[in-house]
Structure 1
């Protein structure tokens, strides 16, 4: 029996924000990349390491893999931040589930590994995001804006209801 339920495809991705400072030692800073040549949000600032979760891979494993592939760091001590369920009804694949992590420790010096996709890496204070020479990817900006204060385990972006809602509401 072939039943069409008009189902969509959910695309999972993992994001890693390397962070430093905060906790009484100045502003919390996050490492961002300036995207280029990808066809998606080029000329926007974004997580220094992020990408799709591959078949058979956990989001945590994807975060480690992307950090190594994109900025050359390993041995990350990852902390889970939030799961962001987002939509863009104007795209053919309009449902995304993003897993956000931070890391305060890692091995290796962050550097650009994929220069055709990343124009620049820059440490940016969370309170200076508006001073960047270009916009931050909108759904990532929503996460960054809540990073210091803390975010619920589940948030949403792009739905009719307000953009950040906890699973307890």
Structure 2
């Protein structure tokens, strides 16, 4: 019998709107999370819970982190990523966008989010979580699957 590693799934929600100079995305400035604090990231994201679909997780995270509901979710892409040469920290991330929702996005978890801000999709801040920068750059390109952190990823797969 072979020991199998566990893949950790997560769902990300990028709220999009048409701004005066083009499409804008709502990002949060992370703080006190222990992961990528001081960097900009999806306004809502988190682990998919046992028995939950990625769509359900995206809706739950948007409600818990932004206080919004009734998202018009659009599946954008999946990213398989790791930070190690050994497959001990494998992750599968499901990225969604939404252009419609009920409520006004607000900081619901102020201990973890220092700020929410709309950024032009073509003019993002420098300090974006690296794998999310890759996902944001791929929105709307038709890329359905990306990898991040694998040394031997096939060419054209969205390697970092």
Answer whether TM exceeds 0.5 for this pair: yes
Structure 1 unpaired stretches of 5+: none
**2:148 counterpart of 1:157:** yes
Q: Which moved more, 1:93-102 or 1:156-165?
A: 156-165
Structure 2 counterpart of 1:8, from 5, 8, 25? 5
- Structure 1 pair 50/147, CA: closer, same or farther in 2 (3 Å)? same
Distance 1:163 1:83, change over 3 A: farther
Encode CA deviations 1:4-62: one digit per residue, 9 max, x unaligned.
Answer: x242110000000000117xx63110000000000011111000000000000000000
Q: Does 1:144 align with 2:136?
A: yes
1:163–1:28: structure 2 CA closer, same or farther, 3 Å change rule? farther
State how far apart, in whole Å, the 1-side matches of 2:30 and 2:155 are.
24
Q: Do 2:59 and 2:69's aligned partners in 1 also have CA atoms closer than 8 Å? A: yes
Q: Residues 162 and 29 from structure 1, CA distance in 2 versus in 1: closer, same or farther, beyond 3 angstroms?
A: farther
Equivalent position of 2:73 in the other structure? 78
What 5-or-longer segments of structure 2 have no aligned partner? Answer: none
Q: Which of the residues 107, 114, 117 maps onto 1:119?
A: 114
With structure 1 as the length reference, what TM-score do the two structures score? 0.86
Query: Structure 1 residue runs of 4+, over 3 Å off?
Result: 90-93
Any idea what SS the aligned residue of 1:57 has?
coil
Alignment of structure 1 residues 11-160 onto 2, 5 Å: 11-21=8-18, 26-89=21-84, 93-129=88-124, 132=125, 135-148=127-140, 150-160=141-151
* Distance in 2 (alpha carbons) for counterparts of 1:88 and 1:164: 19
What is the number of residues matched between the two proteins? 157
Contact 2:66-2:106 at 8 Å conserved across structures: yes
SS at match of 2:102: coil
